[in-house]
Amino acid sequence: MIDNLQESVWHRLGLLLERLPHALLLHGAKGVGKLALAERFSQLLICEKRKPSSQPCGTCEACRWFLGGNHPDIRFLEPESLARTASPAEDGEEPAAKAGKPSSQIKIEQARSLRDFVNVVSHRGGYRVVIVHPAEDMNAATANSLLKILEEPPPGAVFLLVSHRPARLLPTIRSRCVSVPVPVPDPKAAGAWLAKQGVREPARWLAFAGGAPRRALDYATGERGEAFERVLRALATGNRSALVEVRDRDELEPLAEVLQKMALDRAFGALSGRTRFGGAVVPGDARAWLAYARAMGRHRRLTSHPLNPRLFAAEMVSGMPRG
């Protein structure tokens, strides 16, 4: 089971074991469980005592290594900002200290290092699995390097590409993968899963996340959740001055996201009498709110830039329609 969220997709992946493709593309909205599926499927591929129900046993040595996060036949290709482990040093050398902010792109050096990984015999005599996540974060050089491997895949190598925006991938990469769409889960199952994770008001956070449970969990917990709560409280009370009281750049993106979703709900509510992200239906100028939502989308892309947080927050709030 995959948290009871994506059982139908898991069933389809199990059927693919009969004639396993060398590359799968799991795609869908962010936060619907694609990465969890890819990780679980990679465990199934390397499991040495696979159950008839297409479930990894969880007890064999390969599963124990996987659950410990150190199976030598599984490699993650992720941006430095998401990487769970440091890249192994080459030729036994110590990794050089890195300065600056971790990269948000998958670099060409990471893709080139896959050649040695996929072209050697696996440690356990089974598959060698590469998980690329998010696949659209590859720059052009990285994508072309991966494409060369996909064009002539070594025997026993399986690539699992996880993508929130598959249209951004090279068409030639997409054509060499079997497409596996991952839909938004059933709201009842997603709400029950969130409640099990200790989330208060799961229906509210699920609506705010557009139905994506893992994104809802991220929104509702930790520092990010606190930033969202502060913005939502200020909007609920009409306290616009509180919206510009940002402490650092990390709070700008949550502010822009909440304002964008609020604007979309105002526009949708005015046009259809329904909202998408859990906001109240409030009469207003739909065109003005749609224009503001587009502006917030542009601002969200700018929040990672070196900006004055308070001035940028003030600019975003000042453009909010009054009606």
Residue-wise pLDDT for 236-284, tens only, equals 888 888 888 887 888 888 899 999 999 999 999 999 999 989 888 888 8
**Rounded to whole angstroms, how far apart are CA atoms 84 and 220?**
22
Helix (H) or strand (E) holding 219: helix 213-220
Q: Judge if 138 and 32 occupy the same domain.
A: yes
* The pLDDT of residue 99: 53
| Residue at which a domain ends, from 151, 181, 211 | 181
Domain with 94 in it:
7-181
Alpha helices in 114-201, H assignment, sequence order: 114-118, 140-151, 171-175, 187-196
Q: How far apart are CA 8 and CA 15, in angstroms?
A: 11
- Last-in-domain residue among 181, 212, 232: 181
* Same domain, yes or no: 153 and 44: yes
User: Looking at the 3D structure of the chain, how many domains does it have?
Assistant: 2
- Write out pLDDT tens, residues 48-98: 998 777 889 999 999 999 999 889 999 999 998 786 654 444 444 444 445
Q: What is the edge-to-edge ordering of all strands in the sheet holding 178-181?
A: 74-77, 128-132, 157-163, 23-27, 178-181
For residue 323, being part of any structural domain is answered with: no
Residue holding tokens 């670099």? 107
Q: Flag whether pLDDT at 224 surpasses 90.
A: no
Tens of pLDDT, residue by residue over 160-207, are 999 999 999 999 999 999 999 999 999 999 999 999 999 989 998 999
Which residue's structure tokens are 């962010």? Answer: 30
Assigned domain for 81 exists: yes
Asked if 194 and 220 touch (Cβ cutoff 8 Å), the reply is: yes
> Given the structure tokens 């795609």, which residue do they identify?
27
CA dist 222 → 36, 198, 244, 309 (Å):
20, 12, 21, 21
The answer to whether residue 216 sits within a structural domain is no
